[in-house]
Amino acid sequence: MTISGRLDRDDRDLILRRPTPEDGVAVNDLVEQCKPLDENSVYCNLLQCSHFSETSALAELGGEVAGFVSGYVVPEEDDSLFVWQVAVAPEARGLSLAKRMVFDILRRPAAKEIRNIKTTITPDNEASHGVFKSIARELGADIDRDVLFEKQQHFDGQQKSEVLWNIGPFKRADLMPALMSAA
């Protein structure tokens, strides 16, 4: 399912929820609309929407998929949420959906131990830089950056380097104002 036409900027019809396997194809279609995001297979999106549904979020506007955040708890780092991919339909941009979906995940019982957010962003992805700077600011958290996957060493020169952003640690008490403002 894709969004047809321009969305009404009034988000009264906004629903943030856990994805389900039935959302896998719609998520795949959404990611295809969000260049330059790396496309995954439908199977990968099905796994994100099932195995990682508790740490992923889907945004619906007017009953149509408008955004998706995939994430997972970092193995051996139970206090860290890794945000794998963020996709917002072009028609839904400007509604802070990416940030709202991340905060939706942080509100859930499965995220009660999360004190850090990690993600990778290419150096030229200004939109993602803005989203994660805003999240850090609302959480009152520091950002540390370091190259995680280097263009030549890890991608054989075929993709840009991925810079790891570490946001945190933040206190759960510090999270409450951010969660309230993101609602």
Mean pLDDT of 63-88: 95
Phi, psi torsion values for 88, nearest 5 degrees: -130, 130
The 10s digit of each residue's pLDDT in 82-101 is: 999 999 999 898 899 999 99
Q: What is the DSSP letter of 3?
A: -
Residue 163 to residue 136: CA distance in whole angstroms: 16
Could you tell me the two tokens for 156? 């054989």
H or E element, residue 124: none
pLDDT at 10: 54
pLDDT given at position 39: 79
Beta bridge partners, 149, equal 162
Residues 82 and 27: beta-carbon distance below 8 Å: no
Tell the residue number behind the tokens 């060493």, with chain if given: 153
**Mean pLDDT taken over the chain:** 87
Averaged pLDDT, 12-29: 92
Q: Is the Cβ–Cβ distance between 12 and 66 less than 8 Å?
A: no
Higher per-residue confidence, 2 vs 62: 62
Q: What is the pTM of this model?
A: 0.86
- Please indicate whether residue 51 or residue 182 has the higher confidence score (pLDDT): 51
Residue 7, Cβ density class (10 Å: 0-12 exposed, 13-18 middle, ≥19 buried):
buried
Domain covering 11-182, topology: Aminopeptidase (3.40.630)
The larger pLDDT score, comparing residue 10 to residue 104, is at: 104
